Structure 1
Amino acid sequence: MKRIRCLAVDDEGYAINMIADYITKVPYMELVGTTTSAIEALSQIQSGEIDLVFLDIQMPELSGLQFLSLCGDKCKVILTTAYAEYALEGFDHGVIDYLLKPIALDRFLKAAQKAFDQITGINYRTTSQQPAQTAPKVTSPAHDYIFIKGDSKSKFLKVDHRDILYVQGLKNYVSVFTLTQRFVTYQSLRDIIELLPQPPFYRVHKSYIVSVNKIRMIDGQMIYIGEQAIPIGESYRDSFMAMIKDGSNREQ
């Protein structure tokens, strides 16, 4: 089976690491490289060695939409962003798909299959049936816990995934709320989301990560975990609700 050569472009470390990790889980994709510079990415594309770019829209040197205008038909593009309002313009540039952050693995795999179909001209669903081992493999995290920094450089606190209810990011620190206590760390929310498996953890707001397994109710723009109300950010709502509805459909 043809391997699609991929480049991940994003100015945020946690996002580029997530995309790179997802690419390695897809047997017909090959991660050629990652970069935080859209200009460097354009240079790599000119070499003709890139089939597919996962591209963030909000880049400091060159926006994703400017990038699309410059790269022309040198490669295919899947946009990755936290801003849903750019979707229509992105599709006007002929992108394969548009992934809203935080990106769930199952949603990423759907976009990967679209890319396979368009780039190879072969229907993935047909070829994936023979042999069965060509289907994407979803791997579980290596551990069911995380270590977060304590109140000194040499102190680290172990927190089990199953105990975490939600994580709240404040100005100078992050609080991890569990079934029995609250842990405080001076790491950033970005640092924490990199450590947690997605799913079941999703970032639903610029200041919140939740465990979907612990949600009691969703009511409008609010998530309820126990009696705690957690807002859903506008830029996260579409991808979060799509994941919720997708999970509901699978259970029926």
Structure 2
Amino acid sequence: MLKSFILDDETHAIDLLTDYIGRTPDIELIGADTNPLNALRKITELAPDILFLDIDMPEISGLEFMKLLGTKIHIVFTTGHTEYAIEGYNRDIADYLLKPISYSRFNTCCERLIQKIAYAGKKGDGTKTFFYIQGDNKAKMIKINMDELFYVQSLNNYVIIYHQSDKLITYLTMKEVEQFLPSDRFSRIHKSYLVNDSKIKTIESGHVILHSQPVTALPIGLKYREQFFSKIRKVTLKRGDVDR
């Protein structure tokens, strides 16, 4: 699942793209803002894969905002002015969407991006299936298979990794763990919890119930509820989804 962020000074433009992203497989929205400075801070913290960036903003243009980004990100310009198209492509942006944006054009843009990013990933190390954490001493490294990881709990300046029937404590932040684990397989559901999607048994009464012994029920925080359920809706089979 690719993570996206929207920066646009018009709230109705953000609402439209939010709706489009919710209807598009393999892309999730992790944040949006009308203020460039707030957006810069959030983008630095959240590290999205894709930024839908308005060019014509009153405080700072999208072209100027690009220069502030220190992270590698796929930028899609959104604007009502065609004259910015050439300038955008000269700066090696991923795509250019002319307002008013149709869903058909938006979906085509996303399909191209998904293929481009997937191809770039295949040229790298491939999909991670395991990782190591430091043990009780610096000379000890512990291997963790991602398929065997149930959930991660944050406690102050360290995290607890619940792995099969064991639990491991390591001095990492939840932010570091969340950015490392693939977002298409793991979900942040609470400020203190990150879960392995494949270990979810049911979702009920504001909690995620895991396939574990004993049964574990983790709360879904209000801050993470919308993003989590948006992800779940994309893989939910409902009556009427299949043509008869």
TM range (shorter): 0.5 to 0.7
Instruction: Identify the residue that residue 211 of structure 1 maps to in structure 2.
Output: 196
CA offsets per residue over residues 143-197 of structure 1, 9 Å max, x none?
2111122222343211010000101111242111112311111111112112211
Unaligned runs of 5+ in 1: 1-5, 24-28, 30-50, 54-67, 78-94, 97-111
Structure 2: how far apart are the matches of 1:133 and 1:239?
21
Counterpart of 1:228 in structure 2 is 216
Alignment match, 1:191:
176
Tell me by how many angstroms 1:133 deviates: 9.4
Amino acid aligned to 1:118? L
Give the residue type in structure 1 aligned to 2:195.
V
CA distance in 2, matches of 1:161, 1:200: 9
Structure 1 133/76 Cα, relative in aligned 2: closer, same or farther at 3 Å?
closer
5+ long unaligned stretches in structure 2: 1-6, 8-35, 67-76, 79-92
Letter in 1 for 2:219: P
CA RMSD of aligned residues (A): 4.2
Q: Is the 8 A contact 2:53 2:62 kept in 1?
A: no
Residue of structure 1 equivalent to 2:53: 52
- Please say if 1:164 is aligned against 2:152: no
> Distance in 1 between the 2:206 and 2:178 partners?
21
Q: Equivalent residues in 2 for 1:32-111 (5 A)?
A: 52=53, 70-71=59-60
Which residue number in structure 2 is paired with residue 239 of structure 1? 227
150-159 vs 192-201, greater mean Cα deviation? 150-159
Displacement of 1:229: 0.8
Name the aligned partner's letter for residue 214 of structure 1: K
Paired residues of 1:52 and 1:75 also in contact (CA < 8 A): no
Letter matched to residue 236 of structure 1: Y
**8 Å Cα contact 1:204-1:233 kept in structure 2:** yes
Q: For residues 12 and 71 of structure 1, what CA distance do their matches in structure 2 show?
A: 16
Aligned to 1:200: 185
Counterpart residue type for residue 166 of structure 1:
Y
Matching residue's letter, 1:191: E
What is the percent sequence identity of the aligned residues? Answer: 23
Contact 1:14 1:191 in 2 (8 A): no
Amino acid across the alignment from 2:192: S
Quickly say closer, same or farther: Cα 1:128–1:236, change in 2 above 3 A. Answer: closer
In structure 1, the partner of 2:25 is none
Amino acid at match of 1:195: F
Q: TM-score, normalization: structure 1? A: 0.53
Q: Which residue in the other structure is 1:117 paired with?
A: 97
Check if 1:15 corresponds to 2:46: yes
Of 116-125 and 216-225, deviating more is 116-125
